[in-house]
Structure 1
Amino acid sequence: MLTRAITGLFFIIVLIGALLLGEVVFTIFFSLVGIGALYEFYGIAKSEDNKPNVILGMLTAIVLAVLVSLHFVGVIPFKYVWVFIPFFSFIFIASLYQKSKLPFNDIAYTILGIIYACIPFLFFVALGFISGSFNHYIPLGFLIILWANDTGAYLSGRSFGKHKLFERISPNKTWEGFVGGVLFAMLIALNLEQYFGSLQKWEWVTMAAIIGVFGTLGDLVESMLKRSLGVKDSGNILPGHGGLLDRFDGLLIAAPLVFLFLLMLQ
């Protein structure tokens, strides 16, 4: 428990530090986290029947992350981000030269890893630039809301939880915890406008509702992934917490949807 608490505190300090140290550090750090999450995904997905092309998958993700990062810090226009597209084609072509019983399984897991484990972090990075210039308050608010949802879900589920949410996937999650987490996240969001500005109060609250609902579903999706692959944790980079996918499971589904919501408001 002590190891888990120390790791959790250090983890939060590092994340907040990456947000506060400016657009370059923020962009590089969370792009690297996405690449690390992809590496974890390939590690747990690899089996006798599934052999994702780790080299090409990682190369594609790195190229995409670099191009997106260069765009956000103002080095290249957005049209150059599409240079990553040929790398997706190479993933298909490379399978022609590999002796695999199920080549499309390999292709599917290679591409799925990029979409599921890496790209959501690029959407999270995009939240920092959604207003046209770098604003760390929006991604910081996202993380605070996500943590508030987790905390509210844990406390309300432990105190009142009786009705299972998805027992087949996660036996410990309850409807009471789910509702409590969303409500607590929205309560915290009500106060963010006062301290962070950036968005109107109703926008913060709507953002919290999206994070609360889809962050929980993201947690369940990651649990489903681990169950289907027969693993307990996605990795061991964070002692007491598992891997990057374990810690950012809520972000993976919620970040692209929050980005879409805020983009529609522009």
Structure 2
Amino acid sequence: MTEFSRRTFTGTGLVIVIMSATWCGPYSFMTLLLLIDLLSLMEFYRLLEIPGAKTSKIGAALLSMVLMLSGFGAITHLTSWKWTLMVIPVAFSIFVAALYRHTKKPFQGLAITFLGVIIITLPLCCFAAIPFLARPHGSYHFALPAGCFLLLWANDTAAYLSGRWLGRHPLFLRISPKKTWEGSVGGLAAALTVACVLAQFFTLLSPTELAILSVTIVITGTFGDLVKSLLKRSLDIKDSGTILPGHGGMLDRFDSLLGSAPFIFAYLILLAW
């Protein structure tokens, strides 16, 4: 099986799983994001292992779950927002645990531990809130995250194919030699095309708002991809992992989501609603 065939097969499976979990309701959607979060965190910590600096994987996983579940409970009105205060003792306990861990570089380990939560968990917390932003607040709207996923996939797929077939001018040669301006333009065109199609069925956002959302996703998703490429280049590796044949690791597949999720969240709150 060729690399393109593996990529297509794995991508199709991911689309089915993600769209099914998103469509089935808030609990399956949250379970999906928790799985993405934990797998991405463990992959991140594996990549950034430093001799003499030990990351607190269990502490980070617990902190991530508290952040995501307490936020989910608050926005769905299942629990009080006061449960989010549990983040304080959990985060502090990570520092306390470092006092009893005999390592040469404790603060490097702490820095990497919290960096993973900041760049992976917090963006996913933003994305977890997106289905509940439309009125009435607290109601789950499948179309919001599904539309965002479709725009992300349209951009990623078209950028990959356009860059492969038409790419001539590097977008950011120092960081990602294979990413081209032609690919970026192709990804933007595909995202805008999908936005036009979604506008025929999507009543929560106007066509103009969908177009702005598409541009936001393309720009921030591209920078998210470049930041991941910067990480891999600094570590001199090709892929962040092997869990997804043809795509690499979790960070390889969800870098665009992590880069764009906070901006999608901010846009929907500040501009659309």
1:238 to 233, 239, 244: 244
Q: Hey, what does 2:17 align to over in structure 1?
A: 14
Structure 2: distance between partners of 1:104 and 1:66: 27
Aligned AA (1:175): W
Structure 2 spans left out of the alignment, 5+ residues = none
The question of whether the paired residues in 2 share the 8 Å contact of 1:45 and 1:52 is answered with: no
Q: Hey, what does 1:57 align to over in structure 2?
A: 60
2:44 to 41, 45, 53: 41
Structure 1: distance between partners of 2:108 and 2:199: 46
- The answer to whether the aligner puts 1:91 opposite 2:94 as a matched pair is yes
Q: SS where residue 161 of structure 2 aligns?
A: helix
- Call closer, same or farther: CA 1:210–1:147 in 2, change over 3 Å: same
Q: Could you list the per-position Cα deviations for residues 19-52 of structure 1 after superposition, in whole angstroms to 9, with x for gaps in the alignment?
A: 1101111122212211221111111111315421
1:213 to 211, 219, 222: 219
Q: Hey, what does 1:107 align to over in structure 2?
A: 110
Q: Hey, what does 2:132 align to over in structure 1?
A: 129
Aligned AA (1:186): L
Aligned AA (2:209): E
Instruction: Please identify, of 62-71 and 133-142, the stretch whose mean Cα deviation from structure 2 is larger.
Output: 62-71
The question of whether the paired residues in 2 share the 8 Å contact of 1:44 and 1:231 is answered with: no
Q: Hey, what does 2:30 align to over in structure 1?
A: 27
Aligned AA (1:104): F
Q: Hey, what does 1:202 align to over in structure 2?
A: 208
Q: SS where residue 199 of structure 2 aligns?
A: helix
Structure 1: distance between partners of 2:247 and 2:141: 29
Q: How far apart are residue 13 of structure 1 and its match?
A: 0.3
2:147 to 119, 141, 159: 141
Q: Hey, what does 2:157 align to over in structure 1?
A: 151
Over the aligned positions, Cα root-mean-square deviation in angstroms equals 1.7
Q: Could you list the per-position Cα deviations for residues 143-200 of structure 1 after superposition, in whole angstroms to 9, with x for gaps in the alignment?
A: 1101111122123323432221111111101122112212321222122121122111
Aligned AA (1:42): Y
Q: SS where residue 201 of structure 2 aligns?
A: helix
Q: Could you list the per-position Cα deviations for residues 84-114 of structure 1 after superposition, in whole angstroms to 9, with x for gaps in the alignment?
A: 1222222223222222222221111000001
Could you tell me the TM-score, scaled by structure 2's length?
0.91
Aligned AA (1:52): T
Structure 1: distance between partners of 2:122 and 2:241: 19
Could you tell me the TM-score, scaled by structure 1's length?
0.93
Q: Percent identity?
A: 42
Q: Hey, what does 2:81 align to over in structure 1?
A: 78
Aligned AA (2:173): E
Q: Could you list the per-position Cα deviations for residues 104-146 of structure 1 after superposition, in whole angstroms to 9, with x for gaps in the alignment?
A: 2111100000111222122111111111221011111101101
